[in-house]
Chain A
Amino acid sequence: MSDHIVTAYDLEISAIKTLLAQMGGMAEEQLNNAITALAKRDLVLADLVIARDEKLDVMEREIEEKATLTIAKRQPMALDLREIMVAIRVAADIERIGDLAKNTAKRTHAISEALPRKLATGLSRMGSMAQAQLKNVLDAYGLKDAEKALSVWRSDEELDALYNSIFRELLTYMMEDPRNIGMCTHLLFGAKNLERIGDHTTNIAENIYYLINGKTIAEDRPKKDITSMMTGMEK
């Protein structure tokens, strides 16, 4: 896209995009650290994640303010309007991803013993999947790649499926021995956080698609989290 006649307008939009890119990078780092902290029960790393979350909140507000000011000053149209609206929404999703990473890190404190191997593997797979989803969707945003965004949007299904199986697994542990309930509840929240992160990456993917094409994705969204209907009694 060629430049605006008014250079300051270009600068304003690129400042928003730069800030958003920084925010995305920071969210990735937060998520990676939260997952590592939980897996290794690293309390120092967990506290670092918790402390740094505020930075993401500040960045989100900054993006919001810049975007509001640009709307007021420039009355953006068409692609510019979508660019700014999408930046606001993506920033909000990244901020939520940050919150979920923080919450995952917090759980580290509540887990005092090593996880059963099967669970540890499942959670770590979920972690890497959520990381990959986040990385891919941020790349898609940076590259303005609608196809890549669509593929993130579609692969959320796998994350949901993995969450369902971890949910089942945790139910089994809890039913086996009530002393597991405390730890398993925290792990369940951890897994749910990762699943929610996946949902936010699909939101971002939808916004990227809209940004590029000016219309929303036509397909039905894959939604395979069925745990709200599970009782633990089914075989």
Chain B
Amino acid sequence: MDQKLANSMPRILAHDVNIYYGEKHAIKNLSVEIPDRAVSAFIGPSGCGKSTFLRSINRMNDTIASCRMTGEVLLDGKSIYAPDVDVVQLRSHVGMVFQKPNPFPKSIFENVAYGPRIHGLAKNKTDLEEMVVNSLKKASLFEEVKDRLNASGTGLSGGQQQRLCIARAIAVNPEVILMDEPCSALDPIATARIEELIDELKQNYCIIIVTHSMQQAARVSQRTAFFHLGTLVEYGETNDIFTSPKDKRTQDYITGRFG
């Protein structure tokens, strides 16, 4: 692993996290450090808790009534569950991209402009336009849509819609981008575009991606965490995890032996 990654301060630090859905103990005593300017992949079989933990990083679980959590999640050393934290503000720092692209039924421009507008990030119209264009450029979508910014976002192809959602997430200057299976509804070409984009974005953001594609985790991430039955089984350099994992459960899962 490169030294820079090893020595950099973790952007996110989770300590002894437990999450319950009613009686179900979904995440058990999880502690982890997520580095900045790198991609961390969460892998594991369905129901292992990887998405649950991902959603705790921008408090998406708050919307589920039966969900209870103990432990600490720190973003840049500050607890995101502290009483004084504004959840709306938090989510502008920790953006999220979902499995199915979910653009607003509005124009491409409005999809991206929405965030900066509600957070009051733009000083004036020109400023806002600049933000939209920059975000679309960072999401590698601008060239494809520059002549139809007023067309509806839902009229784009699946892959374009997903990049629009990434542009929308980027527009509010987040530090962290959470991606929950961002390519599972996309064809291989659109998937490759998103992976290329993730590669570029990692220079400036802390990215966490939940994926069911082991190959994708191996391709895009620098660190990989393997979850099983609510436990973080193994977390380490992606290169190590996919060539010589230490835990037998990791080995069994990534080699397709899970019973």
Contact = CB atoms under 8 A, between A and B. Distances in A.
Interface of A: 1-6, 9, 74-82, 213-215
Interface of B: 214-215, 218, 242-245, 250-252, 254-259
A5 B258 CA distance: 7
B256 A78 contact: no
A4 B244 contact: no
Contacts of A74: 256
A214 B255 contact: no
B215 A1 contact: no
Contacts of B252: 2
B244 A214 contact: yes
5 contacts: A5-B258, A76-B255, A77-B214, A81-B243, A215-B244
A78 B252 CA distance: 9
A78 B215 contact: no
A77 B239 CA distance: 11
B243 A1 contact: no
Given A75-B215, A78-B251, A79-B251, A5 B257 contact: yes
A75 B243 CA distance: 12
A77 B244 contact: no
A41 B80 CA distance: 84
Contacts of A78: 242-245, 250-251, 254-255
Contacts of B244: 78-79, 82, 213-215
Nearest to A80: B255
Given A77-B214, A79-B251, A6 B256 contact: yes
Contacts of A9: 256
A76 B215 CA distance: 10
B255 A77 contact: yes
Contacts, number: 45
A78 B244 CA distance: 5
A5 B215 CA distance: 17
Contacts of A81: 242-243
A211 to B, nearest CB: 10
B256 to A, nearest CB: 5
A74 B214 CA distance: 12
A182 B245 CA distance: 56
Contact of B243 (A4, A6, A214): A214
B243 to A, nearest CB: 6
Contact of B256 (A5, A213, A214, A215): A5
B214 A3 contact: no
B172 to A, nearest CB: 37
Contacts of B255: 4, 76-80
Across the A-B interface, give the 9 residue pairs with the lowest CB-CB distance, nearest first. Answer: A214-B244, A77-B254, A80-B255, A4-B256, A77-B255, A2-B257, A78-B255, A77-B242, A78-B251
B257 A4 contact: yes
B219 to A, nearest CB: 11
A3 B257 CA distance: 6
Contacts of B251: 78-79
Nearest to A74: B256
A107 to B, nearest CB: 42
Most chain A beta-carbon contacts within 10 A, residue among B252, B257, B259? B257
A3 B259 CA distance: 9
Contacts of A214: 243-244
A4 B251 CA distance: 11
A76 B250 CA distance: 14
A191 to B, nearest CB: 39
Contacts of B214: 75, 77
B215 to A, nearest CB: 5
B218 to A, nearest CB: 8
Most chain B beta-carbon contacts within 10 A, residue among A6, A76, A78, A81? A78
B120 to A, nearest CB: 47
A77 to B, nearest CB: 4
A164 B245 CA distance: 43
Nearest to A85: B243
A24 B258 CA distance: 32
A222 to B, nearest CB: 25
Most chain A beta-carbon contacts within 10 A, residue among B250, B252, B259? B252
